[in-house]
Amino acid sequence: MVAALSLFLVFTAQSVFAQHEEHAEGAATEEKFNPGEAILHHIADAHEWHFFSLKKSDGSEFHATIPLPVILYSPQRGLSTFMSSRFHHGQEAYNGYKVEHGKIVAVDAAGAPDESVKVYDFSMTKNVVQLFIALIVLVWLLTSMAKKYKTGQGVTSAPKGLQNAIEPVITFVRDDVAKPNLGPKYQKFLPYLLTIFFFILINAIFGMLPGAANVTGNIAFTAVLGVIAFIVIIFNTNGHYWQHIFWFPGVPLPVKILMIPVELMGVFTKPFALIVRLFANMTAGHIVILSFISLIFIFTEMSQVAGVAFTPVSIAFAVFIYLIEILVAFIQAYIFANLTAIFIGEAIGDHHYEEDIVAHH
């Protein structure tokens, strides 16, 4: 399946070979393939769901896309809603707006960007739509599991089907993530840990499908998860936690003064580490896969024979990284949930034993 998906990506990708356009004077210009621009285009968000493009016999292009709703608000122009197909794949302006480098900007009557008009974009982009799809799958998955347990399946009898596949993952999060880090209070935070684990995992797996959105590689997505984790940690802190932040017991006064800014900074760097770790790892995987695919077109520009010869090698490496990315999806979901549990455990933990150890020494 992985090999088939990789071949699908190669043979249904946009035309990136050197193209020649005849000018009036008969001269020809060559458009070079830009791998950086192509890779960033594929991992970036968009206002339409683009799958592939095909060149027709008459020279025009057919774009297999699903248009998405565009919702814009401007203090100068008010609310504006329409489908992204009105932009004709970014080639035309509509209702005073145009797509420039993936972002919608206001334009004047001549089609030039109008910087005096402020635009707030609330559109249903590709990432947003996939988030809703992942949310629907998450709710369906966990609620269907809960209904089966209520009927006794998996309790008085052995689990069956999908329940048999999901139950080991749930028990893994409970026994290896929640219990070791949260102790007797693990049941209070287990629903939250299971939610972020499965939500990250579902979005990461969806992101591996051809044409899907790179949600987990979007800094806004990981930032929201990090902020939520920060709120959960802060609202479950106790006096011992803040005592160890501002006035660490058993430490000389000069060291305490030096440690206060360091410990206080650690309160904010922990969720920041969650944000950057997930974003960087998932984005890097997509970039590596697309880089190996791009090598085919780079070698083809050098020589048609070199491009054909390097294609099997490039696909083999892309499939290898693809398999690793599937494993990374599970690992990153586990790391995010595990680190969140560790940080919550530090916030709710009883630090009396540390003071006893310091006093004993």
In this structure, the answer to whether residues 228 and 91 fall within a common structural domain is no
Residue 77 is given by DSSP the state: T
Residue 359 has pLDDT above 50, yes or no: no
pLDDT tens string 3-53: 444 444 444 444 333 333 333 344 444 567 777 777 777 778 888 887 777
* H-only helix segments in the chain: 2-11, 35-43, 126-150, 162-173, 179-182, 186-206, 219-234, 239-246, 253-302, 304-348, 352-360
Q: Which domain-ending residue is among 86, 121, 156?
A: 121
Residue 355's domain comprises: 126-360
Q: How many domains is the chain built from? A: 2
Whether pLDDT at 337 is above 70: yes
3-class DSSP state for residue 5? Answer: helix
Q: Averaging pLDDT over each range in 152-161, 189-198, 312-321, 322-331, which range is the top one?
A: 189-198
pLDDT confidence tier of residue 174, bands split at 50, 70 and 90? very high
The verdict on 112 and 150 lying in the same domain is: no
Identity of the residue numbered 246: F
Same domain for 222 and 103:
no
Same domain flag for 72 and 199: no
Tell whether 52 and 161 lie within a shared domain: no
Q: Does residue 24 fall inside a structural domain?
A: no
More confident residue, 167 or 16: 167
Rounded to two decimals, the pTM is 0.78
Domain finish residue from 98, 121, 144: 121
114 lies in the same domain as 138: no
Q: Give the number of other CB atoms < 10 A from CB of residue 113.
A: 12
Query: Pick the residue with more confidence: 56 or 169?
Result: 169
User: Does 150 share its domain with 283?
Assistant: yes
- Whether residue 13 lies inside any domain: the answer is no
pLDDT confidence of residue 336: 93
- Measured CA to CA, the distance from residue 283 to residue 306 in angstroms comes to 29
User: Is residue 48, in this structure, part of any structural domain at all?
Assistant: yes
Task: Tell whether 12 is covered by a domain.
Answer: no
Indicate if 158 and 301 belong to the same structural domain.
yes
Residues 155 and 117 in one domain: no
Q: What tens digit of pLDDT does each residue of 123-156 get?
A: 888 999 999 999 999 999 888 888 888 888 877 7
Whether residue 113 is found in the same domain as residue 171: no
CB 296 within 8 A of CB 310: yes
Domain boundary among 83, 104, 121: 121
- pLDDT tens profile 277-309: 888 888 888 888 888 888 888 888 888 888 788
Q: Within this chain, do residues 202 and 216 fall inside the same structural domain, yes or no?
A: yes
Q: Assess contact for 348 and 240: CB atoms under 8 A.
A: no
Assess whether 205 and 262 both reside in one domain. yes
